[in-house]
Each structure stands twice: as structure tokens, then as C-alpha cells.
Amino acid sequence: MQLANQTFYFAIFIVLVGLMGRFLANKDDDRAQFRVIYWPIGLSFLAASMLGYATAPWGGKIVLALANIFLIAGVANISLLFSVWNGALRQSSKLTAFVIFAFASTIYIYLHFFGQTQDRIHLMNTALSLFCVWQIISLGQLLKKDNAYQIKLLLGVEFFQLCARIIRSLLALNEMNHPGTLYQEDGLAFAMRIAAILSIVTICILITNYYMEKLWHEYRRSAHAIEDGMLHSLNALSMVRDNETGNHILRTKNYVRALAERLRSSGAYTEQLTLKAIEDIVKAAPLHDIGKVGIPDTILKKPGSLSDDEWQIMKTHANLGRDVLSAAKLKDAKHTHVLDAAIGIAGGHHENWDGSGYPSGLKGEEIPLAARLMSLADTYDALVNERVYKKKWTHEEACLEITRLKGIRFDPRIVEAFIQEKDHFLKISELYGDS
């Protein structure tokens, strides 16, 4: 039985050291986001406590006393950690934890030399149960602010641990002939002691998981913020070089959204047009002409029709846009769905359904869906607004032209969605019209 106990405690020690290693393995700037001193200190005390229990048969009473004192210190720090999470850590909380720790440690040392084993069991369970109640209260309050599944599981484990400690103390009351050492216990008393220790380990694992998930969410928010900032910068750069107005951006974004949502509601391209995908496409839409940053001003800002040679140069903006956005995408980057959509739009919004477009002569569904949506939206906006090379068309004329180009320039299903949304298109063009 002694060897089994030692093996158990040493295994728990290894697990806790592993959790500490996982925490320390994070970069300094990552740990700083969740740097609460009570967590690494508590974990260290608990690991030292488990090592003490494992080696106590060889180290004697002093090692066992230190193991129990370290256990109280570790659980006290976990209690303070939960108070930090709850935003309720005050000087009085720190003082309360210290008083409980100091009082329990002092009495334990006395009982270790002059008391009975049952007395020490009652003392340890009382002190640890007090901290357990503290943790339950803190987690219960935290659950109102943070509905994370780890918090719910922590509450359940804390209740289980509290019950195990109460049962352990009740059993000690009826033990007339205690073997004198925990390592010789058997039956239900042994099971409750092991259950309480396993509860503590489970709590530590859940805390680590909670921190890792919070870090992951921070990474995601940071990545999205960086991507959004980059896209806004590229969009601003595009608008500086382009003759198009800011309202053109607003109109085309809303046209694309209207088409995508209509397709989704009608059951077309539902696998590609998830709600998240639609948002990504709408965010990417303003960058459709980013490639114009590489077109000379003499062509881009020419107040009239372009010559054949100039038109060939202008057509290169699709490839330029795709290349610019591809260069902005970091190697092995993940969660760049908006940038991926923007690359497809920039390089493909001048491709035609029948393969007669540019720059790559793609046809049908070889053309990215986001680009096919942008193609119709951009064409409609160009038709109903005045350009240096053409007069403004009426809404009805634009609708007839787009219908005529069904299956030639545009995806037939997208044209069908446009027909159903044409009144919505008119409202958008009027709401964000150039004045």
C-alpha cells in the first residue's frame, strides 16, 4: 500500500510539473496577458506538496509536515486566483487567506508532534474545506460574467472535493484504531483521500485549459485586428489612386451582400455562402480594384476613352491586385478568409462566365464565387453612374443589359438573384448616390 501511495503522489507531481512547464513555455508577452502571480505560485506549492507526500516515508515527519503546509498554501493561492478572475480581490481577501494558512499551519505543526492522526485529518480537511467554499463562492459569482464551460466544470469539481473532504472527516470520527499513517489506510477513507487529491489536479488542469483558451481568443482577436487594419490601409491606398468615390465602395459592398444573401436564401451555393463567408466577402469587396495602384496616372486619370494600348495596360490591374494582396498574406498564415476572398475578387472580377474575360480566361465555376458576385455588382454600379467615357444609364436599362449578359458575362444564378433584388439595388444606388 505504501508503494502504491508513493507512486500515485509522484505521478500527480509529474502532472503538475507538466502544467507548470506549459505555462512557462508561453512567450513572455503571451504570459503577460494573464500574468497572475497566484497561479504559478499555487501550482509550485501543490507540486512541492505532492513530491513531499511521495518522499515522506523516506524523509520522515518534517517532510510530511511540509507537504501538508505546502498543500494548504497551494489551495490558498488558487482561492486568491479565483478572486482575481472575479475582480473581487481586496486586501482583506489576502489577509483572510494568510490568516487561515498561518493558523492551520501552526496548529498542524503542533498536532504533528503532539496530536493524533485523526486530529490532523480534521484540521487539514477543515482548512481545505474553507478554501473550497471560498472557491465555490468566487466561481459562482464569476459564472454570471463568464459562461465558459471550464467555470461550470470547476464548480462541479469543487463541490465534489468538498463532499469528499467532509466524508473523509466523518470517517475519521469513527476510526477507533487508525493505523497511524495515511499510507496504511484502506477502504473508503483511502478512496476519499485519493478523490480529494484528484479533484485538486483536475482543478489545475481546468485552470490551464481556461488560460489556453483565453490566449487563443486573444490570438484570434489580434489576428483579426491586424487583418482588418491591413485591409483598411490597402483600401485607403486604392481610393487615393482611383477616381471612384467612397460611395462606390458602399454601394458595391451592399450590392454584393444583397446578392449573396438572396442566393443563400434561395438554396444556391449554400455551402460556400455561410453567414461567415458572406461577411468575409463583403469586407473584401472594397479591394476589388486595388490593382489600380500600379496603373500610371496618365491612364488611370485620363479624362476620356482609352486607346487600345492604354486599355491593355489598364487590364493588368486585375493581376496586379491579386499579386499585391497575395504578397500581403503571410506565409503559413491561418484565418485569413477575408484576404483570401479579396485575392479572388481582385484577380477574378473581370472574368466572364463564358470564358471571354480577363486576365486568365476563366469560365463558369472556375471563377471564384466572390469574384462572380463582384462582377455583377461592379457592372451595375458602372452602368447607373456617369463615367468619363459614358453617360449614366437608367436603372431599367441597366437591368435589361445585365439580363442580356446572363450566361455570357454573368453567372446565371447570380443574375436570377439580381432580378429578385433589383428593387433593392435601386434603393442602395439612391441611398449612396454621388452628389
47 by Cβ neighbours in 10 Å (0-12 / 13-18 / 19+) ranks as buried
Using the predicted structure, report yes or no on whether residue 73 has a pLDDT greater than 90.
Answer: yes
Query: Which pLDDT score is estimated for 407?
Result: 96
Using pLDDT thresholds of 50, 70 and 90, give the confidence band for residue 434. confident
- Per the prediction, the chain carries an average pLDDT of 86
- Show the domains of the chain with their CATH numbers: 2-219 (1.20.1070), 242-431 (1.10.3210.10)
Cβ contacts of residue 278 below 8 Å, gap of 6+?
257, 260, 261, 264
> How long is the chain?
435
Query: Which pLDDT score is estimated for 32?
Result: 47
Query: Which pLDDT score is estimated for 241?
Result: 57
The residues facing 390 across adjacent strands are 387
Q: What is the mean pLDDT of residues 5-31?
A: 77
Query: Which pLDDT score is estimated for 245?
Result: 54
Question: Sign of the C-alpha dihedral, residues 271, 262, 384, 352?
Answer: positive
Query: Which pLDDT score is estimated for 119?
Result: 85
In three-state secondary structure terms, 87 is coil
Neighbours of 35 (CB within 10 A): 10
**What percent of the chain clears pLDDT 90, i.e. is strictly above it?**
53
Using the predicted structure, report yes or no on whether residue 215 has a pLDDT greater than 80.
Answer: no
CA distance 130 to 279: 50
- The mean-pLDDT minimum among 98-107, 113-122, 149-158, 274-283 falls in 113-122
- Which contacts of 184-189 are long-range, i.e. CB under 8 A and separated by 24 or more positions? 184/1, 184/2, 185/1, 186/1
Through-space distance between the first and last CA atoms of the chain, rounded to whole angstroms: 88
Query: Which pLDDT score is estimated for 388?
Result: 67
Residues 379 and 265: beta-carbon distance below 8 Å: no
Using the predicted structure, report yes or no on whether residue 65 has a pLDDT greater than 50.
Answer: yes
Q: What is the mean pLDDT of residues 286-307?
A: 85
Using the predicted structure, report yes or no on whether residue 332 has a pLDDT greater than 70.
Answer: no
Neighbours of 85 (CB within 10 A): 23
Whole-model pTM over 0.75 = no
Using pLDDT thresholds of 50, 70 and 90, give the confidence band for residue 31. very low
Query: Which pLDDT score is estimated for 95?
Result: 94
pLDDT tens by residue, 74-86: 999 999 999 988 8
DSSP H or E stretch at residue 361? none
Using the predicted structure, report yes or no on whether residue 34 has a pLDDT greater than 60.
Answer: no
Query: Which pLDDT score is estimated for 94?
Result: 92
pLDDT tens by residue, 369-386: 999 999 999 999 999 988
pLDDT tens by residue, 131-182: 999 999 999 999 998 888 999 999 999 999 999 999 888 877 765 555 455 5
DSSP H or E stretch at residue 350? none
Residues 20 and 31: beta-carbon distance below 8 Å: no
Q: Which of 284, 293, 285 is nearest to 314 (CA)?
A: 293
CA distance 355 to 252: 23
Query: Which pLDDT score is estimated for 335?
Result: 61
Using the predicted structure, report yes or no on whether residue 387 has a pLDDT greater than 80.
Answer: no
Neighbours of 113 (CB within 10 A): 8
pLDDT tens by residue, 224-280: 776 677 777 777 766 665 555 568 888 999 999 999 999 999 999 999 999 999 999
* Stronger pLDDT, 386 or 107, i.e. the higher one: 107
